[in-house]
């Protein structure tokens, strides 16, 4: 009789041990193991590591809301202000990708709460930069419904006038393409949505 003993993650494992254990396993199996591992309440540094690993898997699977939650938990388990800022910003970015802008704004605010004025400027710059990347990605994928939401939100952000005008033109074209004539007319006449 052959008995299979399935080894599991234990709370005493180090990063290399966890990496080695997860190696070669499918994404959903890794998610399951990491979730079980987190329930063991490993040390804070390892919890942060596990949440970041989960976030990476979720991002790769385009499960952006789940990734955002994992980044938030990583931030809550971070010790330094810099790590907290970075993980809250990553949470905000993941929410942008899932078109959940209210949650994204809340996550950005949490990042700002951990920052001084100079760091806030850098965080906001990174936030805007990611927004542009997401817009470009959706333009290439030809998803006008997603683009519409991204354009509308982007116009409400604090951005320079040339960027606003460029996005406004793209938004007008998208309204026209989707047959949203009322919104098109409002934006054309008032310059606001």
Looking at residue 50, which CATH number applies to its domain? 1.25.40.10
pLDDT of residue 5: 37
- For residue 118, give its domain range: 25-141
Burial (CB count within 10 angstroms: exposed 0-12, middle 13-18, buried 19+), residue 7: exposed
**Digit-coded pLDDT (tens) for 43-91:** 999 999 999 999 999 999 999 999 999 999 999 999 999 999 999 999 9
**Digit-coded pLDDT (tens) for 4-52:** 334 688 778 888 988 898 899 999 999 999 999 999 999 999 999 999 9
Residue 118 and residue 29 share a domain: yes
Computed over every residue of the chain, the mean pLDDT equals: 90
pLDDT of residue 191: 62
Instruction: Give me the number of domains the chain comprises.
Output: 2
* Residue 58 resides in a domain: yes
Residue 46 and residue 117 share a domain: yes
Percent of the chain surpassing pLDDT 90 = 67
Residue 127 and residue 151 share a domain: no
* Residue 125 resides in a domain: yes
pLDDT of residue 192: 59
Residue 122 and residue 41 share a domain: yes
Question: Is 147 a residue whose pLDDT tops 50?
Answer: yes
* Residue 84 resides in a domain: yes
Question: Is 151 a residue whose pLDDT tops 50?
Answer: yes
Residue 117 and residue 72 share a domain: yes
* Residue 80 resides in a domain: yes
* Residue 13 resides in a domain: no
Dihedral angle over CA of 78, 81, 86, 92, nearest 10: 90
Contacts of 14 (CB under 8 A, 6+ apart): 46
pLDDT of residue 7: 64
Report the C-alpha gap between 71 and 96 in whole angstroms. Answer: 13
* Residue 39 resides in a domain: yes
Residue 108 and residue 186 share a domain: no
Residue 153 and residue 66 share a domain: no
Residue 148 and residue 123 share a domain: no
pTM of the model: 0.87
Residue 109 and residue 56 share a domain: yes
Q: Give which of 147, 128, 129, 130 is closest to 138, Cα–Cα.
A: 147
Question: Is 3 a residue whose pLDDT tops 80?
Answer: no
Question: Is 190 a residue whose pLDDT tops 80?
Answer: no
Residue 30 and residue 109 share a domain: yes
Question: Is 2 a residue whose pLDDT tops 70?
Answer: no
Residue 55 and residue 148 share a domain: no
* Residue 37 resides in a domain: yes
Residue 127 and residue 48 share a domain: yes
């Amino acid at each position: 009789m052959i008995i299979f003993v399935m080894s599991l993650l234990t709370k005493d494992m180090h990063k290399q041990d966890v990496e080695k254990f997860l190696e070669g396993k499918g994404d959903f199996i890794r998610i399951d193991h990491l979730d079980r591992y987190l329930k063991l309440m490993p040390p804070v540094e390892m919890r942060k590591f596990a949440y970041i690993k989960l976030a990476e898997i979720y991002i790769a699977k385009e499960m952006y809301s789940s990734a955002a939650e994992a980044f938030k938990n990583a931030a809550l388990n971070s010790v330094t202000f810099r790590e907290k800022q970075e993980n809250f910003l990553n949470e905000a970015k993941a929410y942008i990708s899932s078109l959940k802008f209210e949650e994204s704004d809340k996550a950005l605010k949490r990042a700002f709460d951990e920052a001084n004025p100079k760091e806030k400027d850098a965080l906001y710059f990174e936030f805007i930069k990611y927004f542009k990347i997401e817009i470009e990605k959706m333009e290439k994928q030809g998803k006008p419904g997603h683009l519409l939401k991204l354009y509308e939100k982007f116009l409400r952000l604090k951005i320079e006038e040339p960027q606003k005008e460029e996005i406004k033109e793209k938004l007008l074209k998208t309204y026209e393409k989707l047959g949203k004539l009322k919104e098109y007319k409002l934006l054309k006449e008032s310059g606001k949505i």
